[in-house]
A and B are shown apart, each in its own frame.
Chain A
Amino acid sequence: MENIYLPKIAKIADIRQETPDVKTFVLRFEDEAAGRSFDYKPGQFVEFSVFNEGEAPFCISNSPTRKSGIECTVKNTGKVTRAVHELDIGDAVGIRGPYGNGFPLEELKHKSLLFVAGGIGLAPLRSMINYCLDNRNDFGKITIVNGARTSKDLVYKEEYKIWEKAKDTKLYLTVDCEENNWTCMVGVVPKVLEQLKPTCEGAVAIVCGPPVMIKYTIPVLLKIGFCPEAIITTLEMKMKCGLGKCGRCNIQHLYICKDGPVFTYSQLEGLQYEL
């Protein structure tokens, strides 16, 4: 019987500094067969082990259509993420996964997609955005609203030009406050969304960001006319096993690791939860 807690060994192939405290790590499995058979959907996550330090869940931020390895974007926040940030190219880490439900790709086909991201919340959405761009004809209009506290905190900057140039795709960037040399929008994401008033016709909104951003963005989307089934978000709680056994990451009867992390707002609306 397989040991479900045993990670597979992967090596760090590349590290990119996104912001002062965020790095993206590109990982490749040591065993090539494991790499080939690692099949995942955008929105899923892996449990990333730094041996002797600990394990933490990170979403896979590259699209499965681009088999460059597994990319994890990590913010330096606590014990494990600090250890992750101290890793070098060539270091061996452990990967368990993919876990979680991922985005509902079939249901999203032929819809227009409004991606709303705050800070590092762009990480899981990047996987979906690039998946859509690689399957461009399967999806309608794509609008991306991406905000951060300051321009230094924006992630995946090198992708923006590519996204802007893509067919029928619009990108809006915003920072919380005025800045020198900043030519894009100013204001927190929910306020910017109110200004932009993107159409809800045939569209699905996909939101990810810090809890406070999600809390204020969803009412704006509802006001614009998105119905609860057409609002998707990915949630985060403290996770350990990633498999629905350790009992930690639940919101009511739903486990973020097993029933999520992707949820429609209609699933969450009825739940009174602690967030």
Chain B
Amino acid sequence: MLKELKAISKELLKTKRVDVILAYKRASDGVSAMPCFIFEEKDIDKMILDSYCVYNLSNYIKDFPDKKIGIVAKACDIKSIIVLLQENQLKRADVVIMGIECHGVIDEKRLCPGERPVQDIGFNEKCRSCKSPLPAFCDYLLKEEEERGKTGRASEGDGYASIRKLEAKSPAERLKFWEEEFSRCIRCYACRQVCPLCYCPKCVADQTDLAWFSRASNLKGNMSWNVVRAIHMAGRCVACGECERACPVGIPLMELNKKIEKDVKELFGYEAGADAEQKPLFTCFDKKDPEDFVK
């Protein structure tokens, strides 16, 4: 797969079909991966492709506003590219999607500090309910040469098992749960900065004139920030899991985002990032929109 990817990338740069390739390279620890930006053919050999390629590279599309971009993307990453297309943040002709077959990426937090053996790796939570190892929407589809043995995908139903556990709690218990989680928030905004769909030039959290929430990392400010961001992602979040991965204090942001994703599915029958031809959910109004939940 990597050989084919490198060949295609070389060709794309050579023919100037793209100005830059968003890909993965090896990080300084010799084990993890890191995003890399390739402008010249001679740098193509830096590219790597393995289970450490966790990052959603579509986050960097906003860094190259006037360029044609080639991007190495897993099925989950492509969903966010689809939302960017739906929201007119990107022209289809300006992006060349090289979709890669993926059977799971690692969960770095389950690895111990120090040695990181490649063999015994724990898979990312999001991979366990992934339905699509083969991306459907792409310009090039790169398949594995051999059959994969161990995969991270253990068809775990619809992926909402932990959400249902939370839903079963009483409102007071749920509030206690989230207050405990958000009390650790340090307002680093890593969740926002790694999200491909948080692209507002001036985030509501950064506005000082008026200031919408407290800048302090107290519970009130933290609740405001996290809840508002989740609501701004409603109907748009594709559950790529980057926000939870980036959070240094381990807040289970995916529980919140996936709960809203589940609600959106149940209330509106809509799934974010599924169809590039669809309009974004909350930008449209139709008399036939469901409203039986409006009391």
Contact = CB atoms under 8 A, between A and B. Distances in A.
Touch between chains A and B, by CB atoms below 8 Å: yes
Interface of A: 54, 78-79
Interface residues of B, number: 2
Interface in B193-234: 208-209
A78 B210 CA distance: 11
Nearest to B207: A79
Contacts of A79: 208-209
Nearest to B211: A79
Contacts of A78: 209
Contacts of B208: 54, 79
A81 to B, nearest CB: 11
A86 to B, nearest CB: 13
Interface of B is mostly: loop
A54 B208 CA distance: 10
A54 B209 CA distance: 11
A41 to B, nearest CB: 32
Contacts of B209: 78-79
A43 to B, nearest CB: 29
B213 to A, nearest CB: 16
A11 to B, nearest CB: 26
Nearest to A78: B209
4 contacts: A54-B208, A78-B209, A79-B208, A79-B209
Nearest to A79: B209
A84 to B, nearest CB: 13
Closest 4 CB pairs of A and B: A79-B209, A79-B208, A78-B209, A54-B208
A78 B211 CA distance: 13
Nearest to B209: A79
A78 B287 CA distance: 44
A79 B208 CA distance: 8
B202 to A, nearest CB: 14
B208 to A, nearest CB: 6
Contacts of A54: 208
A79 B207 CA distance: 11
A205 to B, nearest CB: 37
B140 to A, nearest CB: 41
Interface string B136-155: 00000000000000000000
A79 B209 CA distance: 6
Nearest to A54: B208
B216 to A, nearest CB: 15
B214 to A, nearest CB: 14
A78 B209 CA distance: 8
A63 to B, nearest CB: 34
A9 to B, nearest CB: 24
A78 B208 CA distance: 10
A67 B5 CA distance: 75
A79 B210 CA distance: 8
A184 B122 CA distance: 78
A124 B208 CA distance: 28
B215 to A, nearest CB: 12
A20 to B, nearest CB: 21
A262 to B, nearest CB: 29
A80 to B, nearest CB: 9
